[in-house]
A and B are shown apart, each in its own frame.
Chain A
Amino acid sequence: MRLSAEHLSARRGEDLLFADLSFTIEAGKALVVTGRNGSGKSTLLRVVAGLLRPETGRVSLDKPGGEAGMRAAEACHYLGHRNAMKPELSVRENLVFWQRFLGDAGGRGLSALDAAEAVGLGDIVHLPFGYLSAGQQRRMAFAKLMVSHRPVWLLDEPTAALDRSAEGVFTGLIRQHLALGGMVMAATHQPLGLETAEELKMTGFAGAVEAMW
């Protein structure tokens, strides 16, 4: 399985934020997107997720045995700045909803309780999501990635608001996902502790993107 982007460029307002950006992620590999604030990391992730229309280029996912160039967004989990959980509902209700809504082809997703255990918060699934602290909310949002299996994880600042031990938990979960043949594309400032990750450096409005492979 391979996620490939060809000649992507995107606008924010009038200016091109990045132009002619190409990359591929093979199964089991991670791509870390770095760069200053406002250099286009989040925009790139939203383009890959299909939430923003690229100015040029395309993103496609090639599956062995599947049709070539299928829409990549459907195979992606997107963890944005916001957690996509309802503060009025309990954590379990939130996780069960996403599991049922996203579907769980092949039964490879964890149950809501197991996913909460995996991020180390198995004992508070009965609380309303709004009662949790910012870090706990972020961890639960991460648990959402595991209730339904998607090969590609798009993570936008996944470790914001987290303490060091939680970062370690995240790194472990990302490693596990990669080991099972998943793909991760993460925009981050903190090092995620992934030795094998490739790095893509965004430079922002300069129009040029230097990639370090």
Chain B
Amino acid sequence: MIALLSRDLKLSVRAGGGALIGVLFFTAVVAVIPFGVGPDLNLLARIGPAIVWIGALLSSLLGLDRMFQTDREDGSLDLMLMQEHPLVLTVLIKCLAHWLGHGLPLVIASPLLGLFMNMDEVAIGATMATLLVGTPALTFIGAVGAAVAVALPRGGLLVSILVLPLAIPVLIFGVSAAYAAVEEPAPFLPPFLILIAITMFFAVLGPLGAALALRNADD
């Protein structure tokens, strides 16, 4: 299983892996916002956490469709389906590798983009913390979409459309926790804990659903 984790990580940083594409897209989306909104620093600081979160959500959708598709195309998926270790575990490891390769770079890039948005240190820290616990949920939800669309040759857009409605709660609680850290009356902890709960919930449900979809993909 560690072998699978390290292989998928290697693949995501090698040519065509697409780990950097997500970060570049994230940077591009957030970097053009100040130009569009104009030089109102207070406004930028106010919408900052929301923009960073939306950018992270969109760029985490980018690489999702390739999660199982590359393995299906070269036949590796067949061999993984045949093994005795439970498929759920294999999918969970693939999700972890996908998050380490595609999700974690977004979290690491977010403080820089927070500076672009004129956010103060507390807001940047809060946004980074919420992204850190929120983006795994996006990967786990995305795994189900990727598994359902695995047999489709151009499934990328379909995966995004399938996944987006389920990702909305993650976005809502992520952004509200980030705002709560800055604006005084609202407490930070409740939305943050709900975000953690969502991630843990989908960490169980996502691999189960994805494994079920992969088992039935060939019939």
Contacts and interface: CB of A to CB of B under 8 A. Distances in A.
A88 B17 contact: yes
A113 B79 CA distance: 21
Nearest to B84: A74
Nearest to B73: A82
Contacts of A53: 219
Contacts of A51: 78, 81-82, 218
* Residue from A46, A53, A78, A84 having most chain B Cβ neighbours under 10 A: A84
28 contacts: A49-B78, A49-B82, A51-B81, A51-B82, A53-B219, A71-B84, A74-B82, A74-B84, A80-B78, A82-B73, A82-B74, A82-B75, A82-B78, A83-B74, A83-B75, A84-B79, A85-B76, A86-B11, A86-B70, A88-B15, A89-B7, A89-B11, A93-B7, A97-B3, A97-B7, A100-B3, A101-B80, A102-B79
A88 B11 contact: yes
B165 interface: no
A73 interface: yes
A121 B128 CA distance: 49
A80 to B, nearest CB: 5
Interface of B: 1-4, 7, 10-11, 14-17, 70, 73-76, 78-84, 218-219
A101 B75 contact: no
Interface of A: 46, 49-53, 71, 73-74, 76, 78, 80-89, 93, 96-98, 100-102
A16 to B, nearest CB: 15
A85 B1 CA distance: 17
Contacts of B2: 100
Contact of B14 (A73, A78, A82, A89): A89
A97 B118 CA distance: 46
A83 B75 CA distance: 6
B95 to A, nearest CB: 16
Given A86-B7, A86-B11, A101-B4, A74 B74 contact: no
B218 to A, nearest CB: 6
Contact of B219 (A52, A78, A83, A89): A52
A71 B1 CA distance: 21
A39 to B, nearest CB: 19
B74 A85 contact: yes
A44 to B, nearest CB: 14
Nearest to A79: B75
B76 to A, nearest CB: 5
B21 to A, nearest CB: 15
A78 B10 CA distance: 25
Nearest to A144: B79
Contacts of B81: 50-51
Nearest to A154: B82
Nearest to A150: B82
Contacts of A52: 218-219
Nearest to A81: B75
A73 B83 CA distance: 7
A49 B78 CA distance: 9
A50 B10 CA distance: 29
B145 to A, nearest CB: 22
Contacts of B10: 88-89, 93
Contact of A73 (B1, B3, B4, B82): B82
A73 B11 CA distance: 27
Given A46-B218, A89-B11, 11 more contacts: A52-B218, A53-B219, A74-B82, A83-B75, A84-B74, A86-B11, A88-B15, A89-B14, A93-B10, A97-B7, A101-B4
Given A53-B219, A97-B3, A86 B82 contact: no
